Chains A and B, each alone.
Chain A
């Protein structure tokens, strides 16, 4: 089955700096890659996603890039703010019709220092 690895496991940045979180996946058939942000005591929140027919997607301060050849994708957060501090999960899935079970990475704890 699919295996998603996420690294590093923790990341600390200064407010205003950029943060990059990387994930690798194992199944070349995976075609959908979402990123989730989870704050303490809350459920995962979808922040951005990318499909395999696209190399890059941007939404304000966040962007995701996908390298299908190398089977890795990355989340980029620019101009980080303290409220960006949370656990971030990457995931991968093979979307077929109404099926799209997600395989998650272990998560990374991002700390933004004021």
Chain B
């Protein structure tokens, strides 16, 4: 168990809908990262937050957004969902000192 929690574990929704994925980092970690894992693209970095502020952006679509709250949990919002958004979404967290990233169990999103 990495100490990173993600909810929900599974999510099934329809095209055009909006969903919110939630992540709680390890105790004491200030950084949260979001990754998307699909069969064709592999693990792709989406976005990083550090202590509530956006720190780095990767291949994140404009339909996607994220935020990190004062208690350091983070949410990834996916809107106007398309079939191609079906994937595993992982959250990882790291501390300021060592920066090793520890991954949560992921949320499997299925868009029908």
Contacts and interface: CB of A to CB of B under 8 A. Distances in A.
B48 A99 contact: yes
Contacts of A29: none
A106 B41 CA distance: 8
Main secondary structure of the interface of B (DSSP, over half): strand
Interface string B30-58: 11010100000011110010100001101
Interface stretch (B13-21, B63-71, B75-83, B92-100): B92-100
A100 B45 contact: no
A45 interface: yes
Interface size class of B (residues with CB under 8 A): 20 to 34
A10 B104 CA distance: 25
Interface string A48-77: 010000000000000000000000000000
A98 B105 contact: no
Given A44-B43, A104-B43, A99 B55 contact: yes
A89 B43 contact: yes
B100 A42 contact: no
Interface of B: 2, 4, 30-31, 33, 35, 42-45, 48, 50, 55-56, 58, 90, 94, 96, 99-106
